[in-house]
Amino acid sequence: MSRLERLQDWAADAGRPARVALVGTGQMGRGLAAQVGRIPGMELAVTVDVDAERARGALALAGRDRIETDEARAATAVEDGVAVAITDAAVLSSLDVDVVVEATGVPEVGAQVAHRAILAGQHVVMLNVETDVTAGLYLEALARGAGVVYSIADGDEPVCGKELVDFAHEMAFEVVCAGKGKNNPFIPEADPSSCAEEAARKHMNPKMLASFQDGSKTMIEMAALANATGMPPDITGMHGPTGQVDDLRSILVPTDDGGLLSGSGRVDYAFGPAPGVFVIVTSDDAAVSEEMTYLSMGDGPYWALYRPYHLASIEAPRTVMSAVLDRRPALAPVGWTAEVVATAKRDLEPGTVLEGIGGIHMRGVTYRADAATELLPLGLAEGAVIERAIPAGEPIPRDAATIRPSVIANLRDLQDRMLRDASVGRS
């Protein structure tokens, strides 16, 4: 029986559809809203956005025509099957919803929403990978302890990449490298002003487009994949070679075999095989090698497996199904393998208050976590005050910035303590 059929059975038994609350109704949120409205056994019950009209518009995309906007009547409306559009995400914890989907892309907002939802006994699906690579390990542990699911959403590259890793492992292949194709130019100094014209053509937020072009989004996505698989980046910032899918099986392999990697089991990205995800696999079994050649996968010892698409928020409802039906995440951290570090885009003078991801001051660069313990995580950087000069291109040390008080800073502190305690326990 498919998950869709099982979801309909679940809804019949519950006497209502699975209720989804969506926080953030921008481009990604709108795609999710439209898709949820088409899935039997699931309904978009609540939308939350600082723009009240946009929150109502997302419900309309989901086919909801009866909409309550008074937060004081939200709980009763949800129970009566009336959709709710509100501006305050804190209200969600008092509502009878099954899954909260976070789609703002803002680390602090994601931390607040996920933390409240978990404590309220609601499953959490993150389209906000920025929060995950900052405090996801703690949020996953908190959710597990509360008996709910914390998961990155299907359709984003980390989940699609993890599916390929699992697929390869289930066939007894060794995974040499897993990654994504980057389909934006890499412009490390990109900022909202440099992206404004293209963003307008694409109907995008220029800050979001800048986060693609300056590499931050790729670094964030591959860090999430690293933390979910235990496969680290090979070098700081990863290699990012150019090549088509078949080329990668001779490029993203160990140096002993003419490639770039210092060893097997790495995450990376490439220009060329976009917008999909890939894994490079190998096997030491002669019969398997012969069969792969017969199957037109090329001569070994390395082969590339490739999924040529990821459908972003369109796929995200699959994660809602997994959470409701199986209490299983699509992807969540299993350790802290990689860190995304705030890196100066320009010379930063003392007193500079850092803009957020995609702004003028910084971009994200992926490090091995054990090499970044003294550096400022990207997800903690917004609003931080620079205390000493940082040259352009340099990572920002933690002790060179005063981090503003926030929920995500508190959660990250708890995560750091959790990791220290685990390390002491192993020693």
pLDDT in the model for residue 274:
81
174: β partners:
282
For residue 3, give both structure tokens: 């998950």
- Mean of pLDDT values over 170-189: 94
- Mean of pLDDT values over 183-195: 91
pLDDT in the model for residue 426:
63
pLDDT digits (tens, 9 = 90+) for 25-65: 998 999 999 999 999 999 999 999 999 999 999 999 999 99
386: β partners:
401
Residue for token digits 């299983």? 328
**CA 269 – CA 292 distance, rounded (Å):** 24
**CA 51 – CA 267 distance, rounded (Å):** 37
For residue 23, give both structure tokens: 């926080």
- Mean of pLDDT values over 142-166: 97
Question: To 10 degrees, what angle do helices 52-61 and 27-36 make?
Answer: 30
Is the dihedral angle over the CA atoms 380, 383, 387, 388 positive or is it negative? positive
For residue 270, give both structure tokens: 């490439």
Residue 348 has pLDDT above 80, yes or no: yes
pLDDT in the model for residue 424:
67
Question: How many helices and strands, by DSSP H and E, does the chain display?
Answer: 14, 15
Residue 251 has pLDDT above 70, yes or no: yes
- Mean of pLDDT values over 235-246: 96
Better pLDDT: 422 or 249: 249
pLDDT digits (tens, 9 = 90+) for 389-415: 999 999 999 999 999 999 999 999 999
pLDDT in the model for residue 205:
87
Domain residue limits, the chain? 3-156+314-326, 157-310, 338-426
pLDDT digits (tens, 9 = 90+) for 110-138: 999 999 999 999 999 999 999 999 999 99
Give the CA count within 13 Å in the CB-facing half-sphere of 352.
24
Q: What is the mean pLDDT of the chain?
A: 96
**Residue 41: what are its φ and ψ, rounded to 5°?**
95, 0
For residue 46, give both structure tokens: 């609540």
CATH code of the domain occupying 3-156+314-326: 3.40.50.720
pLDDT in the model for residue 80:
97
pLDDT in the model for residue 204:
85
CATH 3.90.1210.10 fits 338-426, yes or no: yes
pLDDT in the model for residue 273:
85
Better pLDDT: 124 or 202: 124
Residue 262 has pLDDT above 70, yes or no: yes
pLDDT in the model for residue 183:
82
Residue 325 has pLDDT above 70, yes or no: yes
Residue 427 has pLDDT above 70, yes or no: no
Residue 425 has pLDDT above 70, yes or no: no
